[in-house]
Amino acid sequence: MRNLGKFVTSHSKWVLFGFAALILASTFWGFQSFAGLKAGGYDDPGADSARVTNVMKTEFSQNVAELIMIADFNSDVENPASVATANKLVDYLKSVDGVVGVASYYSSTPHPATLRSIDGKAAYFFVDLVNDEKRQPKIAQGIMDHFDANQSGSTQYSNAKIYIAGWSAVTSEINGKISTGLALAESIAVPLTIILLLFVFGSLAASSLPFVVAAVSILGSFFVIWISTQVTDTSIFAVNLVTGLGLGLGIDYALLIVNRYREERARGLEVSDAVVETVATAGRTVFFSGLTVAVVMLSLGFFPQYFLRSFAIGGVSAVCLAVVGAVMVLPALMNLLGDKIDKGKVLRGQLTPKDHGVWSLVARFVMRRPLPILFVVLLGLGGLLSLSNNVTWGQVDDRILAKSDRVVQAADIMRTRFEGRESSPYDVVLKDATENQITDFTIALSKLPHIKRVQSTAGIAQDGTLDPGYATVFASYKSGSYQHIQAIGDVEPRAADGVTLVNAIRSMPTSIKTVWVGGSAALYADSMSGITRQLPYTALWIIISTLLLLFLFTGSVILPIKAVLLNVVSLGATIGFLTWVFLDGNLKWLIGDFNTTGTLDSSSMVLVAVIAFGLSMDYELFLLSRIKEQHDAGLNTTEAVSVGLQRSGRIITTAAFVLAVSFFAFTIIDVSIMKMLGLGVAFAILLDATIVRALLVPALMRLFGDFNWWAPKWLKRVYDKLGLGH
């Protein structure tokens, strides 16, 4: 790191010009990434349900209806006026560019009872859109806006209220909510962050430096995301992570670098020498910190869903580029600015950190009574963890939007007014099955609890009774060696009951060798299974890589184990808190209204856990770097902790507070998973930067004493041979 510092001070202008050119070039392509981002990515592409989706497209030329429309008439659906309006609806839909097919209660023969509401006044319309995921949300938006504009004061659909649901409609609403919500969040968070940074950094010039690091991180990451969109599906939510993480780490790293530079200048070093020393010390901390956060973020790539893999791509790129900005661009700027970094002071007195103050007093207070403080703090964190005793995991559906959203209202009508879930059938694909096997399977499937109707090439079966008279209607359910059986259930597909029904179908005894179950409920079940299956590997990767990196940073075996355990405790408390909020429906007065579905989204919780764990390690390294420095200088553990916490405590808490503000701004967005991400990360980093770092770490280090620095002799030799201690 010292050699890097010398290079940067010797070529400061070239470093700045080079990075400016790279950022400008990457920005050109980076902003083009937005058009290629998608709002899906929650399904497991390697599961049986994905195979069914593929077979349905390639063999049967059938797609899941991207839009589901409900016409709620003033009279019975069979009334001539209702039929006339239905025909107008179909004519309009077929005229829309991008609509490739419309099916409805009226087009099905016979008219299935489950395609009309229980009271007989509402009917389903299924709209198939062009196979272009980028266009589908825009088409859905246009159709929804058309009907919204024609609901009042128009005679065209005067006898019907139109509701629209379906994943394309949900995607359209999510994109709109995130776009407007993010703009509002940034309009609040950015000015507030600027004001906070003025007081945190103490001068106008210094407070602008985090934005330099953030610009390198965010704009460079947009370019990486653009590359990602060219080769794989990439989630739109990755942009939110990049902006939040880029700005947050820019603040963290800039504060650490600037504080250390001021210390070195106060010691009497010349500007260039102070910069070199800063890169050698604080730069080393930033490097290890970024590497630790990056390997933690990389764990999201273990999951099959591109929703989570996109965060791995965006997160790793944001962290790595923030590190580059902090150890190269920032030192080059400081070398050119010199003492002008303190220009425009907003605080009185010296801006150089002091060795005695509030944080050293806190550390000494804690270390005089470590056991009582450990007991009280762990009791409180355990209380938060206990709130998660009743947690039930799930996956997102339309209810990630607010209750008042038009798509949610449409989906609620589907749940409450229709006997079967026609919009979410259970698609079963059989391969190389005989006609007798198909008949037997159709009848057996119809006997399962919560199955309302089964249709196949054998006919229609209800309650175990097969009517083969309709076999010709479903003749198209056979293609080559594949047979398609469709079952209609009456339970919520993307919920525990839907998973139970999927498992019941998959466990049916049959002599057919290949039986795949697909549809909304199966996609949901397989996605949950994919996350559960990969969690142990993800946890193992995070724990092992973190332990290894912290050993390379500290030379101790005890300190990495302590850090991981404290992070797990902190994470458990965060999960308990989020369960209390999003499962029990609390704090709506603070973060706005949201739907409570009885479950917590597992993908979002994995994301919160990984980000929180990574950022917690960020602050752990900030603290340990100063403690280790003092210990290496000859201070005993108690004094080293006291001075180390004093020198890093302000950095950790202020950086965490500003970062929490940036993430908390996401709660403005009327999408519940964004609220969970914003609130969860904000709570986790504030908890970690205050309770954990200020109380638990000093208490434990006081109890461990010199044992904090223990490692087997052979590992000590490896550490010394690598020369990582300085």
**Cβ-contact 5, 261 below 8 angstroms:** no
* Separation between Cα atoms, residue 439 and residue 433, nearest integer Å: 10
**Is the backbone peptide bond immediately before 560 cis, with ω within 30 degrees of 0?**
no
Specify whether 205 is located in the same domain as 100: no
Which of 23, 619, 36, 59 has its CA nearest to residue 289?
619
**Are residue 209 and residue 227 in the same domain, yes or no?**
yes
In our burial notation (b when 16+ CB lie closer than 10 A, e otherwise), range 161-182 reads ebbbbbbbbbbbbbbbbbeebb
The highest-confidence range among 51-60, 392-401, 465-474, by mean pLDDT, is 51-60
477: Cα separation from own chain's centroid: 38
Question: Do 449 and 569 belong together in one domain?
Answer: no
Number of Cβ within 10 Å of residue 576's Cβ equals: 20
Instruction: Give the Cα separation of 155 and 81 in Å (integer).
Output: 12
Q: Looking at residue 436, what is its pLDDT? A: 92
What is the rounded CA–CA span in Å between residue 681 and residue 648? 21
The answer to the question of residue 139 being in a domain is: yes
User: How long is the chain?
Assistant: 726
What is the rounded CA–CA span in Å between residue 46 and residue 206? 50
Claim to verify: residue 227 and residue 109 sit in the same structural domain: no
Q: Residue 533: inside a domain, yes or no?
A: yes
* Cβ neighbour number for residue 472 with a 10 Å cutoff: 10
Supply the range of the domain harboring residue 442. Answer: 425-518
d(CA 655, CA 678): 16
Task: Determine, yes or no, domain membership for 303.
Answer: yes
SS3 657: helix
Least confident stretch, 427-436, 541-550, 669-678: 669-678
Tokens describing residue 211: 């934005």
Cβ atoms of 129 and 98 within 8 Å: the answer is yes
Residue entry with tokens 């901390």: 285
Q: What is the pLDDT of residues 31-84, one digit of tens each?
A: 777 777 776 777 888 899 999 988 988 888 776 777 889 999 988 988 888 888
Between CA 237 and CA 670, with CA 407 as vertex, the angle to 5 degrees is: 45
Average pLDDT score over the chain: 86
Extract the tokens encoding 493: 């597909």
From the list 70, 722, 20, the residue with the least C-alpha distance to 410 is: 70
Q: Are residues 635 and 620 in the same domain?
A: yes
Query: For the purposes of burial, counting CB atoms within 10 Å of the CB of 512, is it exposed (0-12), middle (13-18) or buried (19 or more)?
Result: middle
SS3 assignment, position 475: helix
Q: Which of 488-492, 581-585, 651-655, 718-722 has the lowest mean pLDDT?
A: 718-722
In this model, does residue 401 exceed pLDDT 80? yes
Tokens of 546: 């973190």
Instruction: Residue 440: give its domain's CATH number.
Output: 3.30.70
Query: CA 267, CA 658: separation in Å to the nearest integer?
Result: 29
pLDDT of 316 > 90? The answer is yes
In sequence order, what are the beta bridge partners of 38?
235
Contact indicator for 505, 517 with CB cutoff of 8 Å: yes
Burial (CB < 10 A; 0-12, 13-18, 19+), residue 473, is: middle
Q: Are 317 and 220 in contact (CB under 8 A)?
A: yes
Average pLDDT estimate for 655-681: 87
Query: Residue 651 falls within a domain, yes or no?
Result: yes
- Is residue 105 helix, strand or coil? coil
End of a domain among 452, 484, 518?
518
**Position 58 in a domain:** no
CA dihedral 652, 656, 658, 659 (to 10 degrees): 130
- How would residue 326 be classed by pLDDT, with cut points 50, 70 and 90? very high
Strand partners for 101: 128
Decide if 553 contacts 724 (C-beta within 8 A): yes
With contact defined as beta carbons under 8 Å apart, do 254 and 210 qualify? Answer: yes
One domain, residues 441 and 505: yes
**DSSP-derived 3-state class of residue 120:** coil
404: exposed, middle or buried (C-beta count within 10 Å: 0-12, 13-18, 19+)?
exposed
- DSSP conformational letter for 455: E
- Nearest C-alpha neighbor of 627 from the set 553, 690, 716, 569: 553
Q: Pick the closest to residue 670 from 144, 145, 168, 174 (CA basis).
A: 174
Quote the number of domains for the chain: 3
**In the block, residue with structure tokens 């949201």:** 594
Q: Are residues 378 and 269 in the same domain?
A: yes
Q: Is residue 292 part of a domain?
A: yes
Give the amino acid at 561. Answer: I
Q: Are residues 566 and 655 in the same domain?
A: yes
Place of tokens 């024609």: 150
| CATH number of the domain residue 117 falls in | 3.30.70.1320
Residue 129 lies in a domain: yes
User: 498, 503, 486, 475: which is closest to 430 by C-alpha?
Assistant: 486
669/244 Cα distance (integer angstroms): 14
Q: Please tell me the predicted confidence (pLDDT) of residue 491.
A: 85
Same domain flag for 640 and 679: yes
Tell me, yes or no, whether 268 and 388 share the same domain: yes
Is the residue at 91 inside a domain? yes
Q: Is 97 in the same domain as 245? A: no
Q: What is the mean pLDDT of residues 279-305?
A: 90
**How much is the pLDDT for 153?**
43
Residues 530 and 508 in one domain: no
pLDDT of 247: 84
Among residues 165, 194, 215, the one where a domain terminates is 165
401: number of Cβ within 10 Å: 24
Write out pLDDT tens, residues 414-452.
888 887 677 788 999 999 999 999 999 999 999 999 998
Q: Which tokens is 298 given?
A: 């990389």
Banded model confidence at residue 188, pLDDT cuts 50, 70, 90: confident
The band of 156, judged by pLDDT with boundaries at 50, 70 and 90, is low
Which of these, 605, 426, 599, 582, lies nearest to 532 by C-alpha position?
605
User: How far is residue 440's CA from residue 433's CA, in Å, rounded to a whole number?
Assistant: 11
SS (H, E, C) 407-433: HHHHHHHHHHHCCCCCCCCEEEEEECC
Question: Which pLDDT band, with edges at 50, 70 and 90, does 374 fall under?
Answer: very high
Among candidate residues 726, 653, 647, the one with its CA nearest the CA of residue 685: 653
Tell me which of 460, 483, 518 is where a domain ends: 518
